Amino acid sequence: MTAMRPASSSAHIRTIGIIGAGQMGNGIAQTAASGGFQVLMLDVDRTALARGMAAIDASLERLRARGKISAEEKMRTMARITTGTDYSMLADADLVIEAASEDEETKRSIFNSLCPTLKPEAIVASNTSSLSITRLGASTDRPERFMGMHFMNPVPIMALVELIRGIATGEETFAAIRDLVGRLGKSPVEAGDYPAFIVNRVLLPMINEAIYTLFEGVGTVEHIDAAMKLGANHPMGPLELADFIGLDTCLAIMQVLHVGMGDSKYRPCPLLVKYVEAGWLGRKSGRGFYDYSGDKPVPTR
């Protein structure tokens, strides 16, 4: 006889904690609150929390203006989100999703502060876009209740969530999160615990190659993006997309791929490294492959 799979219900998940109020964190918070969940959004920086809540309010207002939600729905969604800077606020969370920067030591430090405050049955997920789920899970007190839950940016719009098991992730944990993704109105795809999973394993080397194409003088920023939009029907050119993702994040993912796969084809382009060293991180810093200081983005190279 075939063994029975555990029930896939996520009904016990009612309160979701989010660690990080940046672009990904506030997007996940908005999505969860819009889905009817109580949301606890934590960040060590109160200014970041204020910016995150302002971003959620602006996003919901755009939906209201387009007739997608009512003013009452917007108000109810905002009311479901509580913010704070103390990990103790997450004591009653059923699920906590870490959405901090793509740096392993930062994430490990967060889990060290988080886990002692949680109830034993709480699930912890990481929104990492490239790091080992097995290794991150091993740094917690609950590797069987830990997994990867990689949302796409912008979270309220993008349908996909990559689900990644660590070697110790329990089947009940995985099944519950898979069910939860459906309740959030998203579509899950299961990915193996290998560097960068599926989307970024395919996407970031393409972006890195576009940067090499610029670096080697094959084309300009404008022509490389136009070529991929018009020639491959991409909605956004690879350099424009890199700016949208954040060049520091692109570099971090390429470094994980290069080290994790041990293959020179994943070597980050030196020009990408230089842009990050210059603090030219893309849209979030106002300058990357485009300059965003004016009314219209202007190529910087």
Please list the active-site residues.
129, 150, 162, 200
Query: Residue 170 corresponds to which tokens in the numbers above?
Result: 């329990």
Number of Cβ atoms within 10 Å of the Cβ of 2: 4
Query: Which residues on adjacent β-strands are paired with residue 125?
Result: 97, 147
Question: CA 143, CA 263: separation in Å to the nearest integer?
Answer: 29
In terms of Cα–Cα distance, which of 268, 259, 106 is closest to 195? Answer: 259
Q: How many angstroms separate the Cα of 244 from the Cα of each of 36, 123, 143, 235, 238?
A: 29, 30, 32, 13, 10
Task: Round to whole Å and give the CA distance between 127 and 110.
Answer: 13
Largest CA distance in the chain: 66
Q: CA angle, corner 141, sides to 136 and 145, nearest 5?
A: 75
Helix (H) or strand (E) holding 59: helix 46-65
User: In terms of residues, how long is the chain?
Assistant: 301
The sign of the CA dihedral 241, 247, 248, 254 is positive
Measure the CA–CA gap between 81 and 129, rounded to whole angstroms: 24
Contact predicate 299/219, CB 8 Å? no
Is residue 246 a contact partner of residue 281, using CB atoms and an 8 Å limit? Answer: yes
The kind and range of the H/E element at 61 are helix 46-65
